[in-house]
A = this chain, B = another copy of it.
Amino acid sequence: MGLIVQKFGGTSVGTLERIRGVASRAIATQKRGHDVVVIVSAMSGETNRLLKLAHDCVTVPDGREMDALAATGEQVSAALTAMAIHSKGGAARSLLGHQVKIQTDSAYTKARIKSISGSKIFDVLRAGQIAVVAGFQGVDDNGDITTLGRGGSDTTAVAIAAAIGADACEIYTDVDGVYTTDPNICPSARKINRISYEEMLELASLGAKVLQIRSVEVAMKYGVPVHVRSSFSDTPGTWVVGEEKSLEDVVVAGVAYDKSEAKVLLQAVSDKPGVVAKIFGGLAEANISVDMIIQNTSTGDPAKASTDVTFTVPKTDLARVKPLIEDLARQVGAKGIQYDEDIVKVSIVGLGMRSHAGTAARMFDILSRESINIQAISTSEIKISCLIASKYTELAVRALHDGFGLDKATQAANAPDL
């Protein structure tokens, strides 16, 4: 007997047939003795349809109106899901963001949840009904409708699970869990049974396909056990849980890669206080998100010291950012600028790194054995990233994956099923 939150994404409610599948699953869960709260996204394609309507209407849609418009997608899904549960003899009530009182700030189209009142949900559950909550939406202090941004239904689900003290938050999606790396380029990739919140956050590029990264932050903050699993099977998926439940003997949990960044190299920048701040302050002002930043210690005469500064920016921003970078380079006296879009960032992530020395050295060794040149390195406590030429992506990912033993089933058994 537990309290389970089940979240179904756009694909899982993409047709009436699939909505009926969601209804069956919710009813089955209830029949096993649980209280069930279902969170639904808009039917796949619906949010894009609404966005297109808005953009056909006005070049830059007002955020408040955009949210009032977009929130209808989840409202439709919630009502239809409740009806589908009725059609199978179950009891259900749909609830909207303003009814559950999912209070957010007023940052339209990307609002953040401030508080959730569970009382309406408990009213529904006490009546023996399944509560079906429209994901993605909230309401601000003025009573205006807000949305949480793309993938926000995951955040709704985890935040509601936290607010009502749910025993688990199940995220149903079209894949069956989080993998040790991308199975499309590494055939030996395996489904991860358990992973820590921290690892999941660092594996964003792997995980983003199955779990919105903001929702992981919320889950970590409130200790909500999250179960990412397939809406098309009953196979257990991946549990995302607190660190203490994780395994000690896994050094590396997964290998991620990211082709979305371009490398920028500023050559022979004068190594004086304030210079680097000037560069990255300028980029931040232009709202360019910089990922990696690498600067070596300069050697030689401190008065004439200069150093190379390497950083990465999203490829989609590169055209916009070039004139700005050239201007900044001039200001800081850089001797030259190099751009490189043919790069990939390959990362290994794992809590075990903290206690296992030499993980970085092992990573570099594996890459060098494949004659892959490392252009830049950055590390965090549980993640090591290398920038390499993009043509080596598959080779590097496969070598690191198997080199760290991720192809072998050394993982823990599943979390206890509720």
Instruction: Please list the residues of chain A having a beta carbon within 8 angstroms of any beta carbon in chain B.
Output: 16, 19-20, 50, 53-54, 56-59, 61-62, 64-66, 68-69, 71-72, 75-76, 78-80, 82-84, 86-87, 93-94, 96, 98-99, 143-145
User: Which B residue sits closest to A80, measured CB to CB?
Assistant: B57
Please name all residues of chain B whose beta carbon is closer than 8 Å to the beta carbon of A84 when the two chains form the complex: 57-58
Are A65 and B79 within 8 A (Cβ)? yes
Nearest CB on B from A367, distance (A)? 51
Distance A86 CA – B65 CA, assembled complex (angstroms) = 10
Given contacts A54-B80, A68-B79, A72-B72, 17 further A-B contacts (CB under 8 A): A50-B76, A53-B80, A54-B79, A54-B83, A57-B80, A57-B83, A58-B84, A58-B86, A58-B87, A61-B86, A62-B83, A65-B82, A66-B83, A68-B78, A69-B76, A69-B79, A98-B98
- Known contacts A72-B72, A72-B76, A98-B98; A65 and B83 CB within 8 A of each other: yes
Are B53 and A65 within 8 A (Cβ)? no
Nearest CB on B from A119, distance (A)? 11
Please name all residues of chain B whose beta carbon is closer than 8 Å to the beta carbon of A87 when the two chains form the complex: 57-59
Nearest CB on B from A295, distance (A)? 45
Are A16 and B72 within 8 A (Cβ)? no
5 inter-chain pairs at a CB distance below 8 angstroms, sorted by A residue, are A16-B56, A54-B83, A65-B82, A68-B96, A69-B76
One of B16, B50, B53, B68 near A53 (C-beta < 8 A): B16
Are A62 and B80 within 8 A (Cβ)? no
Distance A62 CA – B91 CA, assembled complex (angstroms) = 11
- Known contacts A75-B68, A82-B65, A93-B64; A57 and B99 CB within 8 A of each other: no
